[in-house]
Structure 1
Amino acid sequence: MKLLRSMLSWCAAGAVAFAALGTSAAHAEDINFGIISTDTSAVLKQRWQPFIDDMNRQTGLSVKAFFATDYAGIIEAMRFNKVQIGYFGNASAMEAVDRSNGEVFAKVLYANGDAGYKSVLITNVNSPVKTLDDVFKHPKDLTLGWGDPNSTSGTLIPGYYLFAQHGMSVNASTFKTVLPSSHEANLLAVVNNKVDIATNNTIELATLKQKHPDKFAQVRVLWTSPLIPSDPLVWRKDLPAATKQKLLDFFTHYAKTDPKEKAVMANITGYAGFAASSDAQLLPIRQVALFQQKEKIAADTHLSDDDRKSQIAAIDAKIGALGAPAKP
């Protein structure tokens, strides 16, 4: 009888403990952190995991990294609530805000003090392409390493500020070949003479210069864009207010004084931390995207004059609603 009572007591205690664990698990906040595919998943994990580990410790949240093979994978994952927060470029953040119930809440800070970064067009230092004039004289002879369709510095900014300003659309009929890929892959393709020219950005070039100066010496910059606002962090609008506050506190205080945290940020891509932000930082990106739409419509020979005028008028109205237009 004593044994039975002892066993019953043990079972009761175990049930209470299990119930408590179940309650804790039920209230644990699981957050998936989406990270756009600027590089391979293995490299991104190596860069970001120490930061995510610190986030878990400091917020008490259960945060896991989520990688996809392209930018659209992160945008769609946020749309279906498989990702709750994400690191984006400005163009992909715009898509996440418009399509995935997203909201910009922070932006990265750069160790060199810059307020943003720039898109570049690059070639190999030994390439016969020496200037932009060489690019536009014979584009049909060139293979272009292009960015992800949702990349700010890889497609949107060079598409407008570089190619559209020269009356050129980027497609298979303009160049010998157009090869969309990640920033890292395009950079290595230029270094190894696998493409004639490629888009990229000043962040990737700075990282290459720091880690592989011999490879950096193989790169020639043909064109540099106006400043692009620093990369934003986006969360889903429907996250609980308390969770948002934990995340905002963590991001805006991280790496401000702690040397270990500063080292973690520097290893990601030369970042120094984060600052609070909002959807307002996407304004110039929205303007450029609308200008590109307008140019495509103006050049579309399949549209009637009336359709073309009405569609352009609709875009002009959207541009006007955003404020003063961006200038190249």
Structure 2
Amino acid sequence: MTIRTTSNSVIGGALIAAFGVLGAAHAQECKNPDVLRFSMIPTEETTQELSLYQPLVNQLKEATGKPIEFYLPTSYASVVEAMLGGFVDIGMHGPYSYVIAREKDPNLKVVATYAKHKGHFQEEGPGYKAVLVARADSGYASIDDLKGTVIGLTDPASTSGNLLPRVGFTKVIGMDLEDYFSRVVYTGGHDLSAVAVIEGQVDAAFVATHRLDNVIDRDIAKMEDYTVLWSSPVIPQDPFVVNGQLCDEIVEQITNAFLTLNENDEGQKYLENVNASKFVAMQDSDYDIIRELKAAKDAK
């Protein structure tokens, strides 16, 4: 596996090149590249240990017969931009960033997502929740106690770390976040939000349940260190998406690689490391709940 870290400037340069050949790409019946590029939104797993994804990369390589290059981006938006420009062929998005991307390119195709094991805060299955957590010893026992405090979000394109707080949670408090809290800050990641709560950098933060579990599993914090003051409805897990210009045969091979990953020892080890039992097939309509949330946010 070739691993490259992409900055916004690098992706920008790549996009210029990609757009330069976009007309030719559209003229072709389908795209059959010699190398497949794979990227995913920055998470504590990708930044913690890139080798964690080697079994998945190996499975994709075996299924397609093509080398796989792994690109570590700098933000949710850079994954969207790279896929829209044709620079990346396979990408893991957040649910919200996927909806944003597909509005711009309806040919993007979601193929699978994780079915997670039950964890400390995470429920079993291909969904998760956004939870608002504070330190258990902070004295904050209700949402009312948090008025006028400092709140942490993750990334502007995050579903549980920005969209749900700004749409679902604001219905609870009856006003915008900036009007309820003294300060709203973006931490850059779910793990960073969870740590910011423990270290007192923010009074509370919105974190995805499975990402909060990761922080606990890495012994950065304990479950009993947190108190949950609000949780969202269940939303679908992060979608794995393919470039819509890829030939159908390649898309089928990629999809099969995800859905059969649990059938070999190497794949099972990978799934265990991300607290999942398997990949399950997903389709675009599974993310309609995110579209409804986005429409509500855009209408505000």
The one of 237, 242, 245 equivalent to 1:235 is 242
Task: Answer yes or no: is 1:283 the counterpart of 2:288.
Answer: yes
1:271–1:40 CA distance, 2 compared to 1 (3 A): closer
Structure 2 partner of 1:92: 97
TM-score using structure 1 length:
0.74
Say whether the 8 Å CA contact 2:94–2:159 is kept in structure 1: yes
Q: CA deviation at 1:54?
A: 3.1
Unaligned runs of 5+ in 2: 1-31, 119-123
Deviations 1:57-93 (A, max 9, x none): 3431221222212100100011111111111121111
Letter aligned with residue 79 of structure 1: L
Q: What is the rounded CA distance, in whole Å, between the counterparts of 1:42 and 1:115 in structure 2?
A: 23
Post-superposition Cα deviations, 1:184-236, rounded to whole Å, max 9, x if no partner, equal 11111112221101110110222233332753332221111111112211111
Q: Are residues 1:273 and 2:284 paired?
A: no
- 1:36 equivalent in alignment to 2:47: no
Partner in structure 2 of residue 72 of structure 1: 77
The structure having more radius of gyration, on CA atoms, is: 1
- Structure 1: runs of 5+ lacking an equivalent: 1-26, 297-328
Question: What is the distance in 1 between the residues matched to 2:204 and 2:150?
Answer: 7
- How far apart, CA to CA, are the structure 2 residues paired with 1:250 and 1:88? 18
Residue type of the partner of 2:161? G
The aligned counterpart of 2:61 is: 56
Shift of 1:48: 2.0
* Higher deviation after alignment, 76-85 or 50-59: 50-59
Residues 126-145 of structure 1: per-residue CA shift (max 9 Å, x gap): 2132211212xx32xx1111
Please say if 1:121 is aligned against 2:143. Answer: no
Give the letter aligned to residue 224 of structure 1. Answer: S
User: Given residue 131 of structure 1, which amino acid in structure 2 is its aligned partner?
Assistant: S
1:247-269 CA distance string (max 9 Å, x none): 011111111x32331111121x2
Aligned Cα root-mean-square deviation (Å): 2.0
In the alignment, structure 1 residue 261 sits paired with structure 2 residue 272: no
For 2:40 and 2:168, locate their aligned partners in 1 and report how far apart those are by CA, in whole Å: 26
| TM-score, with structure 2 as normaliser | 0.81
Paired position in structure 1 for 2:52: 47
- 1:49: how far off? 3.0
Tell me the CA shift for residue 47 of structure 1: 2.8
Equivalent residues of 1:103, 1:237 under 8 A apart: yes
2 CA distance for matches of 1:224 and 1:29?
45
CA distance in 1, matches of 2:143, 2:61: 47
The aligned residue for residue 131 of structure 1 is 142
Structure 1 residues 299-310: aligned runs within 5 Å: none
Shift of 1:174: 4.3
Larger RCO (CA within 8 A; separation ≥ 6): 2
Pair 1:220–1:64, CA change in 2 (3 A): same
How much has 1:53 moved relative to structure 2?
2.8
Alignment CA distance shift 1:40-1:212 (3 Å): closer
Looking at structure 2, the residues matched to 80 and 155 of structure 1 have their Cα atoms a distance apart, in angstroms, of 25
Could you tell which deviates more after superposition, 86-95 or 108-117?
A: 108-117
Aligned equivalent of 1:192: 199
Q: Indicate the residue corresponding to 1:178 in structure 2.
A: 184
SS at match of 1:217: helix
1:206 corresponds in structure 2 to 213
Whole-angstrom distance in 1 between the partners of 2:67 and 2:100: 26
Show the counterpart of 1:156: 163
Q: Note the C-alpha offset of 1:168.
A: 1.9
User: How far apart are the structure 1 equivalents of 2:182 and 2:125?
Assistant: 36
